[in-house]
Each structure stands twice: as C-alpha cells, then as structure tokens.
Amino acid sequence: MKTVFDRPHALSDVPLHYCPGCTHGIIHRLVAEVIDELGIEGQTIGVASVGCSVFSYNYFECDMVQAAHGRAPAVATGIKRTHPDSFVFTYQGDGDLAAIGTAETVHAATRGENITIIFVNNAIYGMTGGQMAPTTLLGQVTTTSPYGRDKAIQGNPIRVCEMLSTLDGVALASRVSVDTPKNIIAAKKQIKKAFENQRDKKGFSIVEVLSTCPTNWGMSPEKSLEWLRENMMPQYPLGTYKDIDAKEAE
Amino acid sequence: MSNKVLMKGTEAIAQAAIECGCKYYFGYPITPQTELSEYMAKKLPKVGGLCLQAESEVAAINMTLGAAAAGTRVITSSSSPGISLKSEGISYMAGCDLPCVIVNVQRGGPGLGGIQPSQQDYYQATRGVGHGDLRLLVLAPSSVQEMAQLTVEAFDMADIYRMPAMILADGALGQMMEPVDFDSIPRRDIPEKPWAACGHNNERKKNIVNSLYIDPQVLENVVDERYKRYDVIEETEARCEEYLCEDADIVLVSFGITARICKTAIKAAREEGIKVGLIRPITLWPFPKKNIAAIAENAKVFLSVEMSKGQMIDDVRLAVNGKAPVHFYGRTGGMIPTPEAVLENIKKLAEEINA
C-alpha cells in the first residue's frame, strides 16, 4: 500500500495544545516538512519563544531551546555562532518578535545572522488572552484596546518585513499566508528557501506568516480566515520584500 | 619555574578564560570593564574563537545562554547597571541549569551611579540576581592573580554543578596591574555535556533546554533537585582566607580589594598590640559561615568592612549568630575606605573591649 499522507518525522507525535482553527498547526507542519525534505533534523536546533508557541519545543523532533520573551534571535545567535554548520531557527509570535524583542530582531537581521526566523503574525496576544499586539490593526478591538486601536493613543501597527528589508544583513524577508491551499504551498516554498539560505550561508532569513486567532478574535475558524483576508492582507500585503537571490538574478 | 606576566585585572580574567578553553565572549561596553571586551576582541579571533559585541546587555546574556545551551564554554562581562539588565537571562540560565561565567566589575550605584569601584552589588549577586528560587556561584577575587585563578575555577565549578558562576570584582581590581602566573592555577575534572542542544545527529533522542514547567508539582520537583546540588555546594565549596585570626579579639570580615586595605590596617593595629584578624570570604555564595561561626567562639567582636552601606554584614551576622556583636564600617558611591579609617575603627572597638 502506498502512503500518500503522513506526519513529517520532524513533527513530534503528540497532541498540539493550540485552539481549534488556529493556523499554528499548519505552520508547524510546514517547518517540519521542510526539515524532513532537507534531511537536516539531526543538525537543527529550534528556539521556542514566549507566547502561544511557547510549547513548540515539545512539537519538533530536533534539539530545542526555550528562550525568554523576545530573546530568541539572541539565543539563536549564541547557538549559531558556536555551531556555524548547524541549522538554527526561531519560532516567534508578533508580541515576542515585534514588541519586546524588537532590538534582538533588528540587530540579528542587520548582523546578517545566518538563521531562519518563522514569524507568526496574528495581530493579537493569544497566550495571555487577547491583548493588543504591535501588529494589531487600527480600529481592532482587543482586551487592552477595548474601544478599538486608536493611533492617537496606541500608535500604529508595525510592518516587520518591510522594515527589515531595508537592512543589509537580510537575505530573505517574505510575508506569506496559510489561509488557502494555494497560499500554503507558496508559504512552504518561502520557508524552505529560508532554510536553504542557511545551508548556503546567505544570511538572515525571515518568513512572516499571517495567522488567525479564532479564540481571541471571537470568530469561527472560517470567519477568521475571511477576516484575515479582508483586514490583515491590506495592512500586511503578501509578498517577498527582500530576496538577495532575486537581486542577483536581475 | 613559574611564568609571571604583568597584567590588568580585567585582562587577567579574559586571558584566564582563554587559557581554560573558553573561546566565546558576548558583551556590551560599559565602564569600568570595557578592557575585558577589548582584550577578547583582540585575542579570541586568533584562537579560532569569537568576541561578539551585542546590541545590549540583554542580548549579550541571551547569546551567552544560546552558546551555553549548545554546550559551549562561554563568558560574558559587565558592570553593575549592565548586570541589572542581564538579570533576566541569568535567571533563565539558572532555570535551564546552564553553566557560564558572568563577570561583574562593580561600580557605584544605584541607577547610573558612578564609575568608581564599589561592592554595592553583594545583595544582587548573593540574593537577588533575577527572579525565582536560584543561586549563583559567587567568587570574589582580591588580587589580579585571583582574578585569573577564580575565573578558571568558576568555569570548572559552573560545569560541574551546571549553573552560572559570577566573578564579583570591582573597578579597582579591574584596573590595577599585578603579576599573574597562569601555570599554577589548579584544574578540576569536567563532566561531559550530554544534555546540550547542539543537534542530535540522528544518534540520540532530542534534547530540550528549558525553564518552563507549567505543572506546579513538576516545577517544585525540579527546583528541589536543584537545591540538592546547592546543598552540596554549601557543604563543600565555601572558601575563605583566615588572616591572624588564631588569637584575635577583633575579627574583620571583608572581601575583594577592601580586604587588602583591612590587612594594612591590621598590621598597623598589631604593631600597637591590638589582637585583630581578618576573615576574607573568597566565595560569597556559598558564604564561609562555618569558618566565621568557629572563629566567633573565641572572638569578642566583629567588624564588617565593605564598599557599600553594609550588605555582607547580614551574612556575617547570620554566621556569628549572636555570639558576638557585629559592627560595620564602609564607604559607598565609589569611595574607597582608607587603611587609616579602618585602623581608627579597630582602635575604637579595642577601647570598647577593654572598657
């Protein structure tokens, strides 16, 4: 009998704790599939962050390190610089990467750390129960922006890929989505490239994945995907903001 | 034949780290310890290592954490305000059972304070560096030779006990020059690091380096296990120098550069017939409480001499445990006690004893 669908080896055989309809599960699977396809599980060290993905150290079969909130790129730097032939990735949410860890993110990027960052942007703090994130949209209601995010009070949302694409150390800055099968295939391609860049010593690669939070958005999984398309995509357009290979090809 | 080199205190720490196989340094510039980074920046590339200047102390300690998690011998250094920033990472390293050496070349505080020598971070180092139930190995050098020696010992102890170790120095020790003999520094047997997250190479189960335990019973068990190691350390690793204590009525307790000033004052007092001695803690945690308790059986009075408003005195009092009064003399803010002022305090206590 031919196997047509199976769990990737790099994805641990344990129940994930994520809420129903949350897209973390899909993103985990894509990362694990890429690790399998490149045959690098034994050389990979993942860095879990703080937020909903805090337990991701239980979900990947490679060696894992749990970092403090926002510090994953610094921890990854320490691992990669002492083990330059390993593959090091961080898996971070928007609060972790774009609020408390902004300095670590920007400086790892500008140093051109040869690491891969999987940045999951769902425009809200999930783990702590739906507070405003740096990526929360203007007008979006959260528990700490109960009247909707007002730029006069809470300021503007941050576009990470656009910002990082201005830095010389960045090899790849790409924003993808996992809301449709087509987009999932496109997302996997970018994640794979982000790991291949490490293999080829090209520098810092970040893939921002737009994600849903049905629980804290207060919507069904299906409605959440619609909301993501209608509201998040205009603010955070999908696309590759920097790819040094594309530049070389020009 | 010993091979002595004249070195600055900060540089002696850096060279000692290299001598015992540490090839990685992560740091951020701050006075009065920047020479340590500069020395590493010059030397480490030549031994196949790396000195990386981080964007902050917070990043530097987390890079240190990453390197340690991957099983690498690693060091970071800073001065007081920078150690406050490193506290988060130090707590995580303690929680992850990761070895590393952290150097604090103390300056005056609180806040930005000043850049002159201080011992104001005693509480921070021995009580309050980072959140949670945790301990650091804290070693207090008193000479440039000890800056080197205790650095090597800190690395070995950190590896043996799987925990961060701190060298608690000060701006005076960091800047002064003295001869150092690296060859005479003792070494210990170091365990392997089968727990390191450096890639399982498809040869073992995955390793997880983590400080999160969401089940409170599991967390309590983990902390309890760690405290068993701490108990062994308290039992076996406490060290101090006892100087002229055998017949002493008055016993000074002082560490680091201040202990040397005390010795000068003690020599002068002895010439005047005052029976005074010194206990110099070399490990601040574990604190040499047994030594102090033993000497407290015969001593009439204790004097804690510090470059702070009085922090170690708490540990001296706990060790003396009411057997004798414990007095304090100190300067703070970067001011250094003079031998004359210490002598004056000794004389005052001698008069009180005789009266």
Residues A188 and B143: their CA atoms lie apart, in Å, by 58
* Cβ <8 Å between B70 and A77: no
Closest CA to A207 of A245, A243, A169: A243
| CB contact at 8 A, B23 and A37 | no
Which one-letter amino acid corresponds to residue A18?
Answer: Y
Q: Do B4-236 and B241-354 have matching folds?
A: yes
Report the Cα A75 to chain-centroid distance in Å: 16
pLDDT at A248 (0 to 100): 62
Mean pLDDT score, B237-251: 98
State which fold the B4-236 domain adopts.
Rossmann fold (3.40.50)
Minimal C-alpha gap between A231 and chain B (Å)? 34
Element (H, E) at A242: strand A239-243
Tell which of B47, B206, B210, B222 to mutate to test the A interface (max A CBs under 10 Å): B206
Percent of chain A with pLDDT over 90: 96
| pLDDT at position B231 over 70 | yes
* Cβ <8 Å between A74 and B207: no
Domain range list for chain B: 4-236, 241-354
Minimal C-alpha gap between B21 and chain A (Å)? 13
How far is the CA of B97 from the CAs of A113, B132, B195, B227, in angstroms?
A: 26, 13, 10, 12
pLDDT digits (tens, 9 = 90+) for B68-83: 999 999 999 999 999 9
Tell which of A52, A77, A89, A113 to mutate to test the B interface (max B CBs under 10 Å): A77
Residue A194 tokens, joined: 């982000």
For the question of whether the overall pTM of this predicted structure is more than 0.90, the answer is: yes
Nearest residue of A to residue B89 by CA position? A68
Other CB atoms within 10 Å distance of the CB of residue B4: 14
* Cβ <8 Å between B62 and A81: no
What CATH architecture is B241-354?
3-Layer(aba) Sandwich (3.40)
Of the pLDDT bands very low, low, confident and very high (cuts 50, 70, 90), residue B128 is confident
pLDDT at B108 (0 to 100): 96
Closest CA to B68 of B42, B95, B87, B47: B95
| CB contact at 8 A, A202 and A114 | yes
| pLDDT at position B355 over 90 | no
* Cβ <8 Å between B209 and A42: no
Beta strands B240-243 and B276-281 are: antiparallel
| pLDDT at position B209 over 60 | yes
What are the residues facing A176 on neighbouring strands? A209
Mean pLDDT score, A57-70: 98
Residues B23 and B75: their CA atoms lie apart, in Å, by 9
Of the pLDDT bands very low, low, confident and very high (cuts 50, 70, 90), residue A1 is confident
B74 vs A contacts (CB less than 8 Å)? 78, 82
Percent of chain A with pLDDT over 70: 98
* Cβ <8 Å between B69 and A78: yes
A114: left (phi over 0), alpha (psi -120 to 50) or beta: beta
Could you tell me which residues of chain A have a Cβ less than 8 Å from any Cβ in chain B? 41-45, 47-48, 54-55, 57-58, 60-68, 71, 74-83, 86, 103-104, 106-107
Nearest residue of B to residue A110 by CA position? B55
Domains along the sequence of chain A with CATH: 24-128+141-249 (3.40.50.970)
Residue B313 tokens, joined: 């005195």
pLDDT digits (tens, 9 = 90+) for A152-173: 999 999 999 999 999 999 999 9
Average per-residue pLDDT in chain B? 97
pLDDT digits (tens, 9 = 90+) for B1-41: 568 999 999 999 999 999 999 999 999 999 999 999 999 99
| CB contact at 8 A, B242 and B313 | no
Minimal C-alpha gap between A63 and chain B (Å)? 5
Minimal C-alpha gap between B199 and chain A (Å)? 4
Other CB atoms within 10 Å distance of the CB of residue A151: 10
What is the SS3 assignment for B184?
coil
| pLDDT at position A247 over 80 | no
Q: Output DSSP code: residue B308.
A: S
Nearest residue of B to residue A90 by CA position? B66
